[in-house]
Amino acid sequence: MMQAVIALTAKSGLTASACAALGLARASVYRARSRRLQPPAPSSARPAPARALGPEERSRVLDLLRTPRFVDLAPAEIYATLLDEGVYLCSIRTLYRILAENGEVRERRDQRRHPVYQKPELLAEAPNQVWSWDITKLMGPAKWSYFYLYVILDIFSRRVVGWCVADAEDTALFKALFDETFAKHGVPPGQLTLHADRGGPMKAKATAFLLADLGVTKSHSRPHTSNDNPFSEAHFKTLKYQPQFPKRFGCIEDARSFCRRFFTWYNQDHHHVGIGLMTPDQVHYGQANDVHAARQDVLTQAYQANPERFVRKAPVPPPMPTQTWINPPRKTDISQA
């Protein structure tokens, strides 16, 4: 807008009208116009100082820095060595300047370059398409003692398809658990994606080889990004916020007994908000349509009995789940696809 007003004829009335229409200050327009009319000041190259080294001297210094004796030393070390030998060529800063002019100054230490991690975008439209797994600590009988709970969760139905409690985080323990769970649910090769964070057992070669042998696609969260594994994190919160969840477990059998009761309740009786107030078992085993229809019948009868109590519209049960995402793509990405 400023350029458009500057381009107008330099008349006070015309400029004032344009400034008022565009919400610009006239003083700003006049200053910009005056700077535009003034010719730029001629630029002159800075003359070389009389005390600077000449081209031949700089060449000799560079040749000396490239000798096998000094090629791997820092300029300060070279400067001190030459002084001890009774030789002065130039300052330490000039040594650096000559090296920089010839592209021979760099970070001497090898810097770690972090890879660019791709955001996982996983879609499940039915059970046994995407599983998420993680390990959480359960406090043992004494301070700094823990038991480790392994949980494999189907993100579409939210059903816990496999779990175990152990004394340690071990890839071999997960391998046995996953083999048993995979066979129990009869998942065909090439259908399942297993998502996890970047813990030790999750990234272990044995885990990668196991998934490759079973035809399971592996997926990992980005480092330090808990949102990339939301279903396992939310499930552990549901577990540990139970009123019956103890602060400590007396022994590993106590932990297993509690988890056995909890997972039975969670899969069979817990009405999950994220899946339309169904239980995980109802969604996982294909009962959701019947449950949804039965709920609709109950609500229809309630509406027919007392329609005045439903002001806006006839009641409907919460919608059934149709798809579940880990990191759904943005709408702009979908429109561009």
Tens-digit pLDDT profile for residues 179-221: 999 999 999 999 999 999 999 999 999 999 999 999 999 999 9
- CATH code of the domain covering residue 177: 3.30.420.10
13 pLDDT higher than 80 = no
Q: Indicate if 127 and 270 belong to the same structural domain.
A: yes
Sheet strand arrangement including 130-139: 160-166, 146-154, 130-139, 193-196, 217-220
Residue 162 located in a structural domain: yes
**Shared-domain flag, residues 139 and 236:** yes
First vs last C-alpha separation in the chain: 35
Count: domains in the chain: 3
Are residues 27 and 157 part of one domain?
A: no
Q: Do 159 and 71 share a domain, yes or no?
A: no
Q: Do 217 and 247 reside in the same domain of the chain? A: yes
CB 146 within 8 A of CB 137: yes
Position 175 scores a pLDDT of 95
pLDDT of residue 232: 95
Residues 138 and 9 in one domain: no
Per-residue pLDDT, 62: 93
Angle at 162 between CA 172 and CA 191, to 5 degrees: 90
Confidence of residue 10 (pLDDT cuts 50, 70, 90): low
Bridge pairing between strands 146-154 and 217-220: unpaired
Together in a domain, 31 and 59: no
Task: Please state, rounded to an integer, the average pLDDT across all residues of the chain.
Answer: 89
Categorize the per-residue pLDDT at 50 as very low, low, confident or very high, splitting at 50, 70 and 90. confident
pLDDT range class, residue 115, cuts 50, 70, 90: confident
In a domain, 27, yes or no: yes
- The reported pLDDT for the residue numbered 43 is 66
| 126 shares its domain with 271 | yes
Listed residue (276, 280, 288, 244) closest to 264, CA to CA: 280
* 330 is a domain residue: no
User: Is 335 a member of any domain?
Assistant: no
Q: Please report whether residue 319 resides in a domain.
A: no
Cβ within 8 Å of residue 261, ≥6 positions away: none
Query: What six digits make up the tokens of 265?
Result: 């309740």
Same domain membership, residue 169 and residue 253: yes
Same domain, 89 and 169: no
> Which residue range forms the structural domain that includes residue 215?
122-275
Indicate whether 329 belongs to any domain: no
The last residue of a domain, from among 275, 310, 329 = 275
Residue 41 maps to a domain: no
The 10s digit of each residue's pLDDT in 76-112 is 999 999 999 999 999 999 999 999 999 888 766 677 7
Question: Is 221 in contact with 326 (CB distance < 8 Å)?
Answer: no
What percent of the chain stands above pLDDT 70? 88
Report residue 14 as tokens.
Answer: 């015309």
- Which helix or strand (DSSP H or E) is residue 13 part of? helix 12-22
SS3 218: strand
Q: Are residues 167 and 242 in the same domain?
A: yes
Flag whether 290 is in a domain.
Answer: no
